[in-house]
Amino acid sequence: MTRTRAAERIQGFGTTVFAEMSALAVAHGAVNLGQGFPDFPAPTFVQEAAIAAIRDGHNQYAPVGGVPRLREAIAVDWRRRFGREIDPEREVTVTTGATEGIFAGIQALLDPGDELLTFEPFYDSYPASVTLAGGRMKVVRLDPPDWTLDVNALRRAITPRTRVLLLNTPHNPTGKVFTRAELAAIAEVCIAHDLVVIADEVYDQIVYDDHVHIPIATLPGMWERTLTLNSTGKTFSLTGWKIGFAVGPAELVGALRTVRQFVTFATATPFQEAMATALTEAPGRGYYDDLRRAYTTRRAALTEVLRAAGFAVLEAQGSYFLMTDFAGQEHATDAAFCRWLISEIGVAAIPPSAFYAEPATAPRLVRFCFAKELATIEEAGRRLVRMPARRSLAAGS
Ligand SMILES: Cc1ncc(COP(=O)(O)O)c(C=O)c1O
């Protein structure tokens, strides 16, 4: 029997669906509404700040917790938005994107055999990070069209080995923004069972209509048990810079930092300096309002394009993703539909089954990203209307 040299732990990880669909999109010259990255330019003042930082010689290793200016800017931002005083030295750590925050946070908080609970569908790095920690991931399902939390299902999923609840709001891929009532119910369960929360809030500035993002760390009794993760890549349309951060009590942030010092140790110094400028200047420049306004326009444009092509579009309350059905199209799975959509229609999307523990149980939906120029969305629209007419569900197809 041949034995692979790769560790057993990583067997089955495969290639992420994002990489697969992006490669297919390139091969077929498809309009890429798959992977979640903006195709429009980032704010000039942030780009200029990075160039200035490089020229000013901010080019050597940063401290493991992050450059002081950025940590201070993050603390100021938390005070401004949530009225909480945080210690930039001990309660903030910069990470190489939220992905490192998720990985290091999970390694820091789970022992082998411990359970981490999260909501399904879930971001695809969660299970891999749990597996590498030797832990077990359990899921509580959210169902379309509203993705409403079932608190009893959450309570039932808890066992004596449950240590961590990983909550993502605003939520990828559903666009759900957890309500205050839902967060209060989650908080009550976490306090009752002494769970730590990892809060993945990378889309915190991207919410629509009357929906409000509430960090679960700001609920009574939650600060001391919550590690909040964020990504400036999402907020400032600079995903390639990979600047994320963790905020929380010194004990949790310290544990993450302990792991981080042996994973990446330091994150790109000039980009951290530039993100300090971004966070400091954004409110005065009206940046967050502009961001929301622009995304609201993009969301409307993509909704219109998808409806014109015959898709039923679910509401996105936050993030930059829309979920639609593909009912009536004759494809066995969402992945098969997405491959066909790329090769035959020239538009890339993501199959949400990749966000399910058992992909076969995923609802028949597709995820489209609207962090795109309006021209990109319009071009996708011109291609999507070429889809064959959908056979009527009523006709039993
Ligand atoms: C829910 C969620 N968490 C984390 C990440 C990763 O963020 P970063 O690019 O900062 O590593 C993403 C990126 O798509 C995401 O959607």
Q: Is the CB of 168 under 6 A from ligand 1?
A: yes
| Mean pLDDT, all residues of the chain | 95
Asked if pLDDT for residue 184 goes beyond 60, the answer is: yes
What pLDDT, on a 0 to 100 scale, did the predictor assign at position 40? 96
Locus of tokens 């799975």: 333
Q: Count CB neighbours of 334 within 10 A.
A: 25
User: pTM for the complete prediction?
Assistant: 0.96
**Comparison of pLDDT for 291 and 5, the residue scoring more:** 291
Q: Is the CB of 231 under 6 A from ligand 1?
A: yes
Asked if pLDDT for residue 126 goes beyond 70, the answer is: yes
Phi, psi of 333 (to 5 degrees): -135, 165
Q: Is the CB of 99 under 6 A from ligand 1?
A: yes
Q: Is the CB of 36 under 6 A from ligand 1?
A: yes
**Nearest residue to 85 (alpha-carbon basis) of 279, 223, 232:** 223
- Strand arrangement, sheet containing 92-96: 92-96, 243-247, 226-231, 196-200, 162-168, 115-120, 136-141
Secondary structure letter of residue 207 according to DSSP: B
Asked if pLDDT for residue 3 goes beyond 90, the answer is: no
Residue whose Cα lies nearest atom 9 of ligand 1: it is 97
CA atoms within 13 A on the CB side of 137: 26
Give the pLDDT band of residue 326 (cuts 50, 70, 90).
confident
| Strand intervals (E) in the chain | 31-32, 92-96, 115-120, 136-141, 162-168, 196-200, 226-231, 243-247, 321-325, 347-348, 365-369
CA separation for the pair 127, 114 (Å, rounded) = 13
CA atoms within 13 A on the CB side of 202: 28
Q: Is the CB of 97 under 6 A from ligand 1?
A: yes
Q: What percent of the chain has pLDDT over 90?
A: 90
Q: Which of 14-28, 30-44, 225-239 is predicted with the least confidence, judged by mean pLDDT?
A: 14-28
**Using only C-alpha atoms, what is the Rg of the chain?**
21
Asked if pLDDT for residue 136 goes beyond 90, the answer is: yes
CA separation for the pair 174, 197 (Å, rounded) = 20
CA separation for the pair 194, 2 (Å, rounded) = 45
User: First CA to last CA across the chain, in angstroms?
Assistant: 46
Asked if pLDDT for residue 33 goes beyond 70, the answer is: yes
Mean local confidence (pLDDT), 366-392: 89
Locus of tokens 């302990």: 258
Cβ-proximal residues to 130 (8 Å cutoff; 6+ apart), any chain: 106, 110, 116, 136, 137
Give the pLDDT band of residue 390 (cuts 50, 70, 90).
low
CA separation for the pair 249, 244 (Å, rounded) = 17
CA 328–ligand 1 middle distance (angstroms)? 32
Asked if pLDDT for residue 275 goes beyond 90, the answer is: yes
CA separation for the pair 211, 99 (Å, rounded) = 25
Q: Is the CB of 121 under 6 A from ligand 1?
A: no
Dump pLDDT digits (tens) for 151-172: 999 999 999 999 999 999 999 9
Give the pLDDT band of residue 395 (cuts 50, 70, 90).
very low
**Comparison of pLDDT for 138 and 19, the residue scoring more:** 138
Answer for the pair 98, 230: CB distance below 8 angstroms, yes or no: yes
Q: Is the CB of 239 under 6 A from ligand 1?
A: yes
Dump pLDDT digits (tens) for 5-15: 899 989 888 88
Mean local confidence (pLDDT), 175-189: 98
What pLDDT, on a 0 to 100 scale, did the predictor assign at position 396? 32
Asked if pLDDT for residue 380 goes beyond 60, the answer is: yes
Which of 234, 239, 242, 321 should be mutated for ligand 1, with most atoms under 8 A from CB? 234
Q: Is the CB of 244 under 6 A from ligand 1?
A: yes
Q: Is the CB of 355 under 6 A from ligand 1?
A: no
Cα distances from 45 to residues 69, 118, 140, 213, 260, in angstroms, run 17, 37, 42, 26, 30
CA 203–ligand 1 middle distance (angstroms)? 9
Joined tokens for residue 77: 């931002």
Dump pLDDT digits (tens) for 91-118: 999 999 999 999 999 999 999 999 999 9
CA 1–ligand 1 middle distance (angstroms)? 39
CA 330–ligand 1 middle distance (angstroms)? 32
